[in-house]
């Protein structure tokens, strides 16, 4: 299988893409702040992904990475340039693992210090007053001990919130850390003043501040663990290549690092080993499991001349392969690069969430101040009003809002890669999820794209062998796919072509020339029946043959027709099933083909397509797709040839069969690696499932804040409960997105 992967996302030469890894983001407001800082640089277009902690910037020739890094630093965060090298990915994993270990240790310390404080809330919970935070409750611990327990939680464990808040404020913005730092500091400060001044009649809220910090950290811990599973598919692909390979050099077989393999090296791949690079089999036979690349579970037989791909598993034979693609030029590297770029992109549906997140924190601070002022004015209790304001600050964190879309995209595109579906960006995924009309090409999409001889009709006393012999002899001078099919049929029948003495090709019609038959030259013509008629050769009625979907080649010798050869491009065995699945999903299917109406009708009937158009030129295909899209329907186009590229560009979302031409793959939004229209249907259904998760997540996130903030402002929530709810909201969004990892296409 000759799979081609596009050099995705490559801007014009005057512009280039720079990827950044980001550190210090705690919520969607952070991502919005960094994105705004990068876009302030002249000539920079930037997109920040909170879920993957990355930024993608397209810059002009006058902008360097240093300017981007400086802009991020000035915004209060840290960034490094990502080059996607294996060593860099390993270092990034190690850094995240160390940060996770530190967060885990501090979370457990905070929990140990906070637990005695929370024990005092048992009486409040037992009394049913868990919504409000102002009722007196039995204090089992002396207040000086409560102060001693809460202070290290507030200022040592919680220092990360102060650091983050300072960086955000220094950069002129506000984020989740600002909300947590303000809220918990106010609760701790009020309680500390009451304790130091000995105001026994006033309430203290040490457990509120400490519990909020502990619960937020615990939520981050669970969130980090859950988010580590988002890119599991991509990480799994990245680890498929072995670190070393057995290379034959100078008559000896050496084990060398992967980086030392060059194009042209001969590699020895034993049974049970993974292919280290892309290559061509030169010696040996085996079966290779390519499911991790194509999503196809069946093993593929490999013989000399077969193509193999890095990361695939050699099952039961010894192969000697010649390296044809190494390093970043392998199919596997292309898939990883494509999926990584898709995971870092933004879907149009995320724009609303981004706009909200950009102004959310300042608005929440204003609401909190108003809550305190109005509460104090209405109830005359400054401490109670302050706790209500604290609760507003705690519960209003926009983390869930920032995670809603990117988490689903990361998991969805990763799952697609496992199934052999490569999605260029999040916008393509969203469009595919809304698709209602699928336009398909015939040749190479519904059919195998490789004509074969389906039948031979001998006329005027000739035999089948005679017709094939004459046709194969004249077609020696042609490279047309029909000529190749005729020569292959003759070879299978053991027919040796006659020497060709002269040859002339007539594009679009056929060929003529002289062949040597026993020392005598005869004139042979092979081509369309219309071409034979132009040459003054009468042709019989071929309606019966053409009605079964065959292309006909007439064969004439010395001015008289001797036979006709019927050629057919066989329909793929899975095409009918794919069309049925598309219809079941409510997708209308239209076939466009440049072939004649008889052939088009036969193929359409075989695969179950009700609507088709034949004799369509490439330019007309594009015009047809544009007209369909202009009617307001989200239109997809599937193709594999150079002639499909204009139509692919014209469609709302385009799909390329991975075995297609480079031009078709470059023009497409989604590439399916395996040569099966079912993979296109899988891509559409996966996109729908991902889009559904995005909508669910956005609903959860918006409803959480819409309901939570008013309840907190009215004094109906305890700060501790607010902290737990905030952590749970982010975790629920990530967990909901992770369910996509279990998605399976329905056959």
- Catalytic annotation, residues: 441
Q: Which two tokens stand for residue 422?
A: 């490569």
SS3 of residue 525 by DSSP? strand
User: What contacts 41, CB < 8 A, 6 or more positions away?
Assistant: 59, 63, 67, 68, 71
Q: Which helix (H) or strand (E) segment is 500 a member of?
A: strand 500-506
CA distance 58 to 10: 10
Angle 373-379-382 from CA coordinates, rounded to 5°: 55
Q: Which of 85, 150, 92, 67 shows the shortest CA–CA distance to 116? A: 150
Q: How many CA atoms lie within 13 A of 630 on its CB side?
A: 7
Q: Which helix (H) or strand (E) segment is 472 a member of?
A: helix 464-474
CA distance 365 to 1: 59
Q: Which of 515, 544, 521, 542 shows the shortest CA–CA distance to 531? A: 542
Q: Tell me the helix, strand and coil percentages in the chain, rounded to 5.
A: 50, 20, 30
Q: At residue 533, what are phi and psi to the nearest 5 degrees?
A: -65, -40
CA distance 500 to 517: 10
> In this structure, are residues 498 and 516 in contact, taking their beta carbons and an 8 Å threshold?
yes
Residue 528 neighbours by CB distance under 10 Å: 17
User: How far is CA 606 from each of CA 543, 571, 573, 575, rounded to the nearest angstrom?
Assistant: 19, 8, 10, 9
> In this structure, are residues 293 and 254 in contact, taking their beta carbons and an 8 Å threshold?
no
CA distance 368 to 386: 9
Label residue 269 left, alpha or beta by phi (over 0 means left) and psi (-120 to 50 means alpha).
Answer: beta
CA distance 681 to 585: 9
Q: Which of 361, 422, 425, 421 shows the shortest CA–CA distance to 393? A: 361
Q: Which of 257, 289, 260 shows the shortest CA–CA distance to 273? A: 289
437-441 and 635-639 strand pairing = parallel
Residue 1 neighbours by CB distance under 10 Å: 16
Longest pairwise C-alpha distance within the chain: 124
Residue by residue, DSSP assigns 654-666 as: EEEETTS-HHHHH
User: What contacts 694, CB < 8 A, 6 or more positions away?
Assistant: 347, 349, 350, 404, 405, 408, 409
State how far Cα 711 lies from the chain centre: 39
Alpha helices in 153-231 (DSSP H): 159-170, 176-197, 206-227
> In this structure, are residues 284 and 306 in contact, taking their beta carbons and an 8 Å threshold?
no
Q: Which two tokens stand for residue 212?
A: 């909020």
Beta bridge partners of 409: none
Q: Which of 413, 412, 418 shows the shortest CA–CA distance to 296? A: 418
CA distance 144 to 151: 11
Sheet harboring 588-592: ordered strands across?
A: 421-423, 670-672, 653-657, 635-639, 437-441, 588-592, 611-613
> In this structure, are residues 195 and 143 in contact, taking their beta carbons and an 8 Å threshold?
yes
> In this structure, are residues 168 and 33 in contact, taking their beta carbons and an 8 Å threshold?
yes
Q: Which of 581, 604, 606 shows the shortest CA–CA distance to 677? A: 581
């Amino acid at each position: 299988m000759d799979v081609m992967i596009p050099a995705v996302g490559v801007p014009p030469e005057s512009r280039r893409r720079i990827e950044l890894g980001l550190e210090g983001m705690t919520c969607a407001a952070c991502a919005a702040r960094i994105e705004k800082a990068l876009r302030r640089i002249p000539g920079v277009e930037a997109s920040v992904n909170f879920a993957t902690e990355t930024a993608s910037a397209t810059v002009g020739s006058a902008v360097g990475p240093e300017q981007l890094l400086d802009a991020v630093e000035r915004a209060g965060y840290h960034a490094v340039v990502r080059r996607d090298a294996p060593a860099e990915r390993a270092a990034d994993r190690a850094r995240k693992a160390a940060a996770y270990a530190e967060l885990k240790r501090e979370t457990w310390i905070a929990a140990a210090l906070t637990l005695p404080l929370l024990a005092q809330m048992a009486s409040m919970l037992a009394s049913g007053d868990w919504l409000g935070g102002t009722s007196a409750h039995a204090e089992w611990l002396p207040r000086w001990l409560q102060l001693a327990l809460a202070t290290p939680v507030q200022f040592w464990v919680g220092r990360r919130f102060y650091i983050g808040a300072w960086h955000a404020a220094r950069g002129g913005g506000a984020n989740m850390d600002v909300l947590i730092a303000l809220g918990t500091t106010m609760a701790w400060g009020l309680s500390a003043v009451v304790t130091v001044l000995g105001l026994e009649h006033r309430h203290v809220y040490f457990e509120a501040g400490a519990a909020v910090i502990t619960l937020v950290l615990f939520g981050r811990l669970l969130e980090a663990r859950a988010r580590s599973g988002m890119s599991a598919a991509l990480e799994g692909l990245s680890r498929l290549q072995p670190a070393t390979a057995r290379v034959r050099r100078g008559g000896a077989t050496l084990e060398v690092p992967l980086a030392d393999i060059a194009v042209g090296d001969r590699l020895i791949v034993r049974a049970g080993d993974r292919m280290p690079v892309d290559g061509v089999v030169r010696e040996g036979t085996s079966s290779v499991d390519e499911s991790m690349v194509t999503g196809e579970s069946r093993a593929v037989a490999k013989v000399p001349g077969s193509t193999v791909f890095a990361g695939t598993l050699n099952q039961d034979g010894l192969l000697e392969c010649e390296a044809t693609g190494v390093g970043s030029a392998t199919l596997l590297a292309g898939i990883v690069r494509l999926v990584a770029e898709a995971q870092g992109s933004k879907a149009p549906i995320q724009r609303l969430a981004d706009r909200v997140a950009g102004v959310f924190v300042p608005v929440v601070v204003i609401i909190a101040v108003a809550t305190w002022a109005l509460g104090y004015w209405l109830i005359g209790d400054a401490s109670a009003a302050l706790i209500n304001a604290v609760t507003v600050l705690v519960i209003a964190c926009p983390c869930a809002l920032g995670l809603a879309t990117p988490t689903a995209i990361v998991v969805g595109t990763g799952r697609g890669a496992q199934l052999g579906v490569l999605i260029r960006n999040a916008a393509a995924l969203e469009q595919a999820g809304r698709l209602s009309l699928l336009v398909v090409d015939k040749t190479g999409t519904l059919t195998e794209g490789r004509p074969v001889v389906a039948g031979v009709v001998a006329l005027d006393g000739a035999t089948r062998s005679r017709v094939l012999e004459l046709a194969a002899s004249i077609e020696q001078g042609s490279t047309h796919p029909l000529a190749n099919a005729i020569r292959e049929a003759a070879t299978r029948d053991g027919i040796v072509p006659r020497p060709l003495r002269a040859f002339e090709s007539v594009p679009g019609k056929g060929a003529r020339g002289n062949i040597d038959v026993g020392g005598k030259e005869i004139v042979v013509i092979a081509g369309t029946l219309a071409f034979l008629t132009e040459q003054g050769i009468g042709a019989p009625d071929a309606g019966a043959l053409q009605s079964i979907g065959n292309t006909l080649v007439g064969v004439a010798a010395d001015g008289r027709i001797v036979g006709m050869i019927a050629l057919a491009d066989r329909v793929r065995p899975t095409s009918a099933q794919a069309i049925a699945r598309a219809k079941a999903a409510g997708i209308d299917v239209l076939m466009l083909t440049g072939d004649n109406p008889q052939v088009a009708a036969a193929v359409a009937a075989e695969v179950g397509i009700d609507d088709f158009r034949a004799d369509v030129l490439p330019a007309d295909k594009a015009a047809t797709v544009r007209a369909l899209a202009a009617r307001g329907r989200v239109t997809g186009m599937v193709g594999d040839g150079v002639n499909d590229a204009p139509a692919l560009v014209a469609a709302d979302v385009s799909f390329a069969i991975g075995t297609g031409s480079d031009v078709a793959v470059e023009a497409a939004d989604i590439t399916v690696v395996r040569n099966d229209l079912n993979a296109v249907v899988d891509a559409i259904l996966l996109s729908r499932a991902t889009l559904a998760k995005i909508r669910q997540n956005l609903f959860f996130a918006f409803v959480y804040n819409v309901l939570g903030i008013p309840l907190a402002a009215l004094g109906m929530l305890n700060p501790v409960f607010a902290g737990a709810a905030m952590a749970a909201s982010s975790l629920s969004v990530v967990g909901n997105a992770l369910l996509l990892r279990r998605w399976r296409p329905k056959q």
